[in-house]
A and B are shown apart, each in its own frame.
Chain A
């Protein structure tokens, strides 16, 4: 059964660059029809999509974060990663990685999620 696990620092200082990695186990990241995604959720608030990446490197980003975000994939390690530059307190959130299916039958969506990792930005 495919599983996702986020890893990265829990505490950061303003202006630093956040780096998170999602390790995919129980399946290959190089699968057709699946993108790999980052989603975040500030404490007590709703979900915000950050971006998707395909194993070939095709990416889609949220325009609100695009200037600060990079998502990349390492197929040899079955991992994908998020970098978010110049963080502020507003970037404090639980960060989830997820698998995003995109097919031909309008059945797209996030079907598998990691457990999430809390990132706090504080001086």
Chain B
């Protein structure tokens, strides 16, 4: 199984801050990685697929990068509605595996 290690597990930031979340795969997954946002009590929502392709309707302040084993999700200027938990998902091979999540909290 491919293990996905996400860091940090939580962070505190202010509105307007630049935020970066990292996901590391235990083996190479090319660009078969997505990022999901989950707000409390809600189902996750896909933000990015294929490591850096923005889902339609997702604000351009979100961006993804990386390939192989190292990936990042960046929020260029944090907005109030971005406070949530973020997960990466690898779909290079079964079993599909999520990262442990990063909770973005208000400083």
Contact = CB atoms under 8 A, between A and B. Distances in A.
B36 to A, nearest CB: 7
A107 B46 CA distance: 11
Interface string A39-81: 0000000111100100000001111100000000000000000
A16 interface: no
B98 interface: yes
A109 B34 contact: yes
Q: Tell me if B's interface is mostly helix, strand, loop or mixed.
A: loop
Given A49-B98, A60-B94, A109 B43 contact: no
B83 interface: no
Contacts of A52: 96
Q: How large is the interface on A (under 10, 10 to 19, 20 to 34, 35 or more residues)?
A: 20 to 34
Given A49-B96, A106-B31, A115 B49 contact: no
Which of the four size classes fits the interface of chain B?
Answer: 20 to 34
B32 A106 contact: yes
Contacts of A110: 34, 36, 44, 46, 89
A114 B31 contact: no
Interface of B: 1, 30-32, 34, 36, 38, 42-46, 49-50, 53, 55, 87, 89, 91, 94-101
